[in-house]
C-alpha cells in the first residue's frame, strides 16, 4: 500500500480522500489517502515526517499552497507559473511540486461544460493565489481578452504585469465595473465567499450567454452563484467540477493513469446541491 494525504487547515471537510479512494478503486490501485490537519506553523515538520514515513505523494490546500511551493526540490512548469503547489510527488531528494488547479478548471469548462474559451471576453475577479493559479491555463486556452479586477487594484496590476501581454490582459478598478460593458465568462477567484459578506456586483457585467464560475464550491460559492442567477446568467457554476478534475490531474501525476471522473462528479453533485 502506498501512502497519500491532503494537508490543509481546516481539512475535516475535504472531499479529496473520498475522490482519490474512488479513483484508486476504479483503477485497481492499492493506496491509502488521508486528511492531515496542518496549521501553517507546523506544516513544514509534518510534511517532513510524512516523507520520512514513506509518503508517496500529497495534495496541499488552503492556506498552505504557497508554503508547499517553498518546500519543493523540483517544480513543474505549471507550478512555477502558478507560484503555488497543490500536488507533491515524492522524489529522491524531497518533493517534486506541481499545480493541477488551472488544468482542472480548463477541463471542467471545456469538457464537462463544453465551452469554447477562444472567443470569450473574460473577467477574472480576485488577484490572490487562486487567481494566479488559473491565470496561465486560461490564457493558454486562447482567450481573446482577460480583464483582471481586484478589490485592491495594485495586486491586480502586479498580476497583469507578470503576464506582459497588455493587448490581451489588463486590469480595471472594482468600483468602475459598471462601466466595463458585459463579459461572456466571469470567474470568481476571490475568497469573499469564505467570509459572511454577500456578493454584489453590477448585473451589467453579465452578457447574453455569460457563464459565471466560482472556483469554490458548497457554502463558499453560494453568494456568487446567487448573484449570477439573480442577474440571469446563462450558466452559474460552482467549482465542484474543477475539484474533481484537479484531483484527476494529480492522480495521473502520481499513478500515470487518468481516471474517469464522471461517476465521482455525479455522486458528489447529488450529495451537494
Q: Does 162 bind ligand ATR (CB under 6 A)?
A: no
Quickly list DSSP for 100-158: -HHHHHHHIIIIIS----TT-EEEEE--SHHHHHHHHHHHHTT-SEEEEEESSHHHHHH
Contact between 223 and ligand ATR (CB under 6 A)?
no
Task: Check binding of 82 to ligand ATR (CB under 6 A).
Answer: no
Report the distance separating Cα 146 and Cα 92, nearest Å. 40
Confirm if 9 and 62 have CB atoms less than 8 A apart.
yes
Residue with cell 459572511: 196
Annotated catalytic residues are 65
Residue 184 labeled ligand binder: no
CB of 132 to ligand ATR, least distance (A): 8
Asked if residue 190 binds ligand ATR (CB under 6 A), the reply is yes
Q: Taking CB under 6 A as the rule, does residue 200 contact ligand ATR?
A: no
Q: Alpha-carbon distance 60 to 32, whole Å?
A: 16
| Interface pick for ligand ATR out of 55, 57, 126, 137 (rule CB under 6 A) | 126
Contact pattern for ligand ATR over residues 84 through 123, marking x by CB under 6 A = ----------------------------------------
How many residues belong to the site for ligand ATR (CB under 6 A)?
A: 15
Among 10, 70, 195, 202, binds ligand ATR (CB under 6 A): 195
d(CA 225, CA 46): 36
Please report whether residue 239 would count as binding ligand ATR according to CB under 6 A. Answer: no
- Give the nearest distance from C-beta 192 to ligand ATR in angstroms: 3
Distance (Å, whole) CA 194 – CA 196: 7
Q: Binding string to ligand ATR for residues 140 to 159, with x set by CB under 6 A, is what?
A: ----------xxx--x----
- Of 90 and 132, which has the nearer Cβ to ligand ATR? 132
Gap between the terminal Cα atoms of the chain: 34
For the CA atoms of 108, 110, 112, 113, the dihedral, rounded to the nearest 10 degrees, stands at 110
Residues near ligand ATR (CB under 6 A) are: 126-131, 150-152, 155, 190-192, 195, 197
Amino acid at each position: 500500500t502506498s501512502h497519500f494525504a491532503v494537508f490543509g487547515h481546516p481539512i475535516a471537510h475535504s472531499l479529496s480522500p473520498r475522490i482519490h479512494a474512488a479513483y484508486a478503486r476504479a483503477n485497481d490501485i492499492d493506496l491509502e489517502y488521508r486528511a492531515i490537519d496542518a496549521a501553517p506553523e507546523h506544516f513544514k515538520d509534518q510534511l517532513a515526517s510524512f516523507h520520512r514515513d514513506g509518503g508517496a505523494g500529497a495534495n496541499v490546500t488552503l492556506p498552505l499552497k504557497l508554503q508547499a511551493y517553498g518546500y519543493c526540490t523540483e517544480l513543474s512548469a505549471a507550478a512555477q507559473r502558478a507560484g503555488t503547489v497543490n500536488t507533491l510527488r515524492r522524489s529522491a531528494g524531497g518533493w517534486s511540486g506541481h499545480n493541477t488547479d488551472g488544468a482542472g478548471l480548463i477541463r471542467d469548462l471545456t469538457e464537462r461544460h463544453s465551452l469554447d474559451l477562444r472567443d470569450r471576453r473574460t473577467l477574472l475577479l480576485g488577484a490572490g493565489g487562486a487567481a494566479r493559479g488559473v491565470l496561465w491555463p486560461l490564457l493558454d486556452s486562447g482567450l481573446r481578452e482577460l480583464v483582471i479586477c481586484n478589490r485592491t487594484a495594485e495586486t491586480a496590476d502586479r498580476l497583469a504585469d507578470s503576464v506582459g501581454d497588455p493587448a490581451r490582459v489588463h486590469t480595471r478598478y472594482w468600483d468602475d465595473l459598471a462601466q466595463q460593458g458585459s463579459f461572456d465568462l466571469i470567474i470568481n477567484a476571490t475568497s469573499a465567499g469564505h467570509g459572511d459578506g454577500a456578493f454584489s456586483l453590477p448585473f451589467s457585467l453579465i452578457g447574453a450567454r455569460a457563464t459565471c464560475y466560482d472556483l469554490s464550491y458548497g457554502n463558499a460559492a453560494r453568494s456568487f452563484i446567487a448573484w449570477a442567477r439573480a442577474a440571469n446568467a446563462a450558466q452559474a457554476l460552482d467549482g465542484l467540477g474543477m475539484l474533481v478534475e484537479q484531483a484527476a490531474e494529480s492522480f495521473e501525476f502520481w499513478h500515470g493513469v487518468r481516471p474517469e471522473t464522471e461517476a465521482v462528479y455525479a455522486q458528489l453533485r447529488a450529495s451537494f446541491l
